[in-house]
Amino acid sequence: MDYEKYMKICIQLAKQGEGKVSPNPLVGCVVLDKDGNKISEGFHAKYGENHAERDALLKLKNGEEKDGTLIVNLEPCSHFGKTPPCTDLIIERGIKKVVIGMRDVNPIVSGIQKLKNSGIEVIEGVLEDECRELNEIFIKNITQNKPFIAIKTATTLDGKIATSTGSSKWITSDEARNKVKNIRNRYDAIMTTSSTILADNPSMIHKKKIILDRCLKTDLESKIYQQGEVYVFCDEITSPHPSPKLGEGAVVSDSRTNAGEVIFIKTPSKENKLDLNFVLKKMYELGIKSILVESGGRLNGEMLKYADKIYHFIAPKITGDNSSLSCFDFRKITDINECENFKIKSVEQFGKDILLIYLRA
């Protein structure tokens, strides 16, 4: 039986839940009858709704799954959460064999043992690397209790994101910029800075946005504030909310007409910089499990030590001007061995541009 073929289908099904299932993992499922014919498939579509196994099995009404095989990219859950345990339904439906891509890193899950105790054959580790990559966000959340951090930047061949005057529209093609929208959808929130907002006045359409604005320089009429829920980290709660007695981490909300909510969070700072450790910890506490950084060279550079992944779009253009703005510009070094090291995971082409994806080395 070609389980890898069906596991690839599971992975593609699971991706349909990107941006909608957090903090849950991405899961897809395929069911075969006793003769090896595919009879159902499913995926976890939205947090709080049916898991992939339940979605696939509940589509079957006539018992055709009995003595069949269920293939899923992640170990089935064995505990009650928003939905009942998937293992119970698998056992109840008479499945004879379960093929799993990877074990669940959540210690409360013991689905494999429960299935084996019920006499079900379990095959593990099919396309495990691909399955782990699919759920890289979930794995970091569970194993480290930290948000997954990605940086997106778009540059010329010589690494520039704008000229010295701030001209940057557009470095990359429509095809590349459309890909960026797809990437954004995978993450719980986008992070940027007041400098980027003041320079470009971007909309950055997303359900949740994080703005680092230490001195509250941005205007609530800026495009970025007109949609979604916005978290503003600042070192003083000033206008429109003078509250000098608020302690670190205090939250003040400002509801807007026809828009989401602006949430101001008082943040410790050092050497005129907001404490990024505090910012990331606070966002994780507020349920943000993954963040895509879209900003200038300063924040991109400061975030490198936290970054799990970098999306680097490169256009076949050269400024030839060293005064143009660089995509990572936050320090001076004298020894090349002081570089931050990453490895290239993949290269894709979008129109005239390429997308390099880097992972931490």
Provide the annotated active-site residues. Answer: 53
Measured CA distances, 331 to 172, 301, 334, 339, 355 (Å): 26, 8, 10, 11, 25
Q: What angle do CA 309, 170, 154 make, to 5 degrees?
A: 15
Say if CB 254 and CB 240 are below 8 A apart: yes
Alpha-carbon separation of residue 361 from 148, 214, 276, 277, 340 (angstroms): 16, 32, 22, 21, 9
In the beta sheet, which residues pair with residue 40? 31
| Measured CA angle at 36 (ends 58, 85), to 5 deg | 30
Cα separation values, 200 from 20, 218, 251, 328, Å: 29, 12, 27, 18
Alpha helices in 63-159 (DSSP H): 86-92, 111-117, 128-134, 136-144
Distance of alpha carbon 103 from alpha carbon 86, whole angstroms: 14
Whether the CB-CB separation of 266 and 249 falls below 8 Å is answered with yes
Residue 249 near residue 217 (C-beta atoms within 8 A):
no
Compute the CA torsion angle 308, 26, 228, 204 (nearest 10 deg): 50
The sign of the CA dihedral 266, 270, 273, 276 is negative
Residue whose C-alpha is closest to residue 128's, from 97, 110, 102:
102
Residue 349 class from Cβ within 10 Å (0-12 exposed, 13-18 middle, 19+ buried)? exposed
How many helices (H) and strands (E) the chain has is answered by 10, 19
What count of residues does the chain have? 361
Residue 133 backbone phi and psi in degrees, to 5 = -65, -40
